[in-house]
Chains A and B, each alone.
Chain A
Amino acid sequence: MEYSNLRRQTIFMKKNLFDQGFLDEQFNQLEELQDESSPNFVEEVVDLFFKDSSRLLTNIEQAIDKYPQDFYRLDSLVHQFKGSGSSIGALRVKNECSVFKAHCNDRSLEGCRRSFQKIKREHATLKQKLESYFQLLRQVGPREHAVSSRK
Chain B
Amino acid sequence: MRPDERKGVVAARRDQFPVGMRVLAVDDDPVCLKVLETLLLRCQYHVSTTNQAAIALKMLRENRDMFDLVISDVHMPDMDGFKLLELVGLEMDLPVIMLSVNGETKTVMKGITHGACDYLLKPVRIEELRNIWQHVVRRKFSTRDRANLDIYEECNKPSNADSDHAHGHVTCGSPDQSGRPSKKRKEYYSEEEDEGEEDNTQETDDPSAPKKPRVVWSVELHRKFVAAVNQLGIDKAVPKRILELMNVEKLTRENVASHLQKYRLYLKRLSAVASQQVSIVAALGGRDPFLHMGAFEGLQGYQAFTSSTSLSSFTPHGLINSPRNNPAAFGTQRVSASKSIQTVTGGHALNHSICDANKYHLSSPGNQQGNLGQGMATSLGQTQMQPKWIQEETDDLSTIFSGNGLANSGMSATLQGVTSSPLLPQELVECTQVKVGSQPSVLTPSVSSGHLEGTVGVSSSLLDPRVSQQTTIPLSEFSASGLPIHGLFNNSCATKLGATSSASTPVHPSDDLLVARDTKAGASSFGSTMLLPPDTEQKYLNFGGGNSFKHKFDERTADSLFDLKFVWSSGLSSQSASNIGAHHSISQRWNNSSSNNSNIGARMIGQPSSSASTVAPHAKSDFLISGDMLVPKNASDLSVPKLQSELSSSSCSFDGLLNSIIKVEKDDVSFSDDLGCSDFYSLGACI
Is B31 a contact of A48 with CB atoms below 8 Å?
yes
- State whether A86 touches B123 (Cβ < 8 A): yes
Q: Is the CB of A80 within 8 A of B75?
A: yes
Given A79-B75, A79-B102, A80-B75, CB of A87 within 8 Å of CB of B31: yes
Bound CA span A33–B34, Å: 11
Contact with B along A39-64 (1 / 0, CB 8 A): 00100110011001100000000000
Given contacts A38-B38, A79-B101, whether A87 and B126 have CB atoms under 8 Å apart is no
Interface status of A128 (Cβ within 8 A of chain B): no
B244 at the interface (CB under 8 A from A): no
Contact A48 B30 (CB under 8 A): yes
The answer on a CB contact under 8 Å between B38 and A86 is no
Residues of A within 8 A of B126 (CB): 29, 32-33
**Alpha-carbon gap, A44 to B126, bound state (A):** 19
Q: How far is the CB of B673 from chain A (nearest CB, A)?
A: 46
CB distance from B82 to the nearest CB of A (A): 15
Name the distance in Å between A52's Cβ and chain B's nearest Cβ.
5
Alpha-carbon distance A115/B39, docked complex (angstroms): 32
Contact of A45 among B34, B75, B102, B125 (CB under 8 A): B34
In the bound assembly, the distance between CA atoms of A79 and B74 in angstroms comes to 11
Asked if A52 and B29 sit within 8 Å, CB to CB, the answer is yes
**Which chain A positions have C-beta within 8 A of B39?**
29, 33
The main secondary structure of chain B at its interface with chain A is mixed
The residue in chain A whose Cβ has the minimal distance to the Cβ of B126 is A29
The answer to whether B31 touches A41 (Cβ under 8 A) is: no
Query: Chain B, interface size: which category?
Result: 20 to 34
Query: In whole Å, how far is A79's beta carbon from the nearest beta carbon of chain B?
Result: 6
Q: CB within 8 Å of A: which of B34-63? A: 34-35, 38-39, 42
Question: Interface on chain A toward B: helix, strand, loop, or mixed SS?
Answer: helix
In the assembled complex, the CB of B42 is this many whole angstroms from the nearest CB of chain A, namely: 6
A86 touches B42 (CB 8 A): no
A82 at the B interface (CB under 8 A): yes
Are B122 and A86 neighbours in the complex by a CB distance under 8 Å? yes
- What is the minimal beta-carbon distance from A23 to any residue of chain B, in angstroms? 12
A127 to chain B, nearest CB (A): 13
Cα(A30)–Cα(B32), bound, Å? 11
Cα-based distance from A89 to B123 in the complex (angstroms): 8
Q: Could you tell me if B123 and A87 are in contact, using CB atoms closer than 8 angstroms?
A: yes
B32 touches A84 (CB 8 A): yes
Q: B92-127, CB under 8 A of A: which get 1 and which 0?
A: 000000001110000000000000000000110110
A83 touches B29 (CB 8 A): yes
B36 to chain A, nearest CB (A): 8
What are the residues of chain B within 8 A of A86 when measuring CB–CB? 101, 122-123
Complex Cα–Cα for A76 and B73 (A): 13
The reply to whether B35 and A83 form a contact with Cβ atoms under 8 Å apart is no
Assuming the contacts A76-B75, A86-B101, A86-B122, asked whether A33 and B38 have C-beta atoms less than 8 A apart, the reply is yes
Determine the distance from Cα of A49 to Cα of B30 in the docked complex, in whole angstroms. 8
Q: Is A126 an interface residue (CB 8 A)?
A: no
Which residues on the B side are within 8 Å of A30 (C-beta)? 35
Q: Is A88 an interface residue (CB 8 A)?
A: yes
Taking a contact as CB atoms closer than 8 A, the residue among A29, A37, A38, A84 that contacts B31 in the complex is A84
Report A-chain residues with C-beta under 8 Å of the C-beta of B42.
33
A82 to B123, CA, bound (A): 10
- Are A87's CB and B102's CB within 8 A? no
For B36, the closest partner residue in chain A by CB is: A87
The answer to whether B101 and A88 have CB atoms under 8 Å apart is no
Measured CA separation A30–B123 after assembly (Å): 11
Interface centre among B29, B122, B125 (most CB of A within 10 A): B29
Q: Mark B126-150, 1 if CB is under 8 A from A, else 0.
A: 1000000000000000000000000
Interchain CB contact under 8 A, A87 and B38: no
- Chain B nearest CB from A56 CB (Å) reads 9
Given contacts A33-B38, A82-B101, contact A45 B123 (CB under 8 A): no
A149 part of interface (Cβ distance < 8 Å): no
Indicate if A26 sits at the interface (CB-CB under 8 A): yes
Residue in A49, A87, A88 whose Cβ sees the most chain B Cβ within 10 Å:
A87
Q: A33-B39, A89-B123 are in contact. List 4 more A-B contacts (CB 8 A).
A: A37-B1, A45-B38, A82-B101, A87-B123
**5 residue pairs from A and B, CB less than 8 Å apart:** A41-B38, A48-B34, A49-B31, A83-B29, A88-B31
List residues of A whose CB falls within 8 A of some B CB.
26, 29-30, 32-33, 37-38, 41, 44-45, 48-49, 52-53, 76, 79-80, 82-84, 86-89
Nearest 8 A/B pairs, CB to CB = A84-B31, A83-B101, A26-B123, A87-B32, A49-B31, A86-B123, A87-B35, A87-B123
